[in-house]
Structure 1
């Protein structure tokens, strides 16, 4: 068995694992931020703010053609 080939394969596997962990950590950070935002939103008593968060596309455009 070729030692150099095994070494390269092992190194490549380690790099792939490190990249996967980095992506997972970034995704976890995003989820944590979203969770904090949801907790903050749910603790508010402003109904309009909650409705806007649920349907952010509503109220963004006004049709001025009569």
Structure 2
């Protein structure tokens, strides 16, 4: 049994786990920020602007011929 080799492998495993947790925290923070942005964009007066941005060709002309 090689104690130094086992210690090094354990240490590397801990570093990988810490890196994965750090990346996951950043992804969760970004998702929370995106959620806030979407909620802000969907508030009352912003809905029409968002719909127009998504489909700018709709609602530009009204056909009033009978």
Same fold by TM-score greater than 0.5? yes
Deviations 1:6-28 (A, max 9, x none): 00000000000000001001100
What is the RMSD of the two structures over their aligned residues, measured on CA atoms? 1.9
Q: Structure 2: 5+ residue runs without aligned partners?
A: 57-66
Q: Structure 1: 5+ residue runs without aligned partners?
A: 59-66
| TM-score normalised to structure 2 length | 0.73
- Displacement after TM superposition at 1:37 (Å): 0.5
Separation (CA, whole Å) in 2 of partners of 1:9 and 1:28: 29
Return the index of the structure with the highest Cα Rg.
2
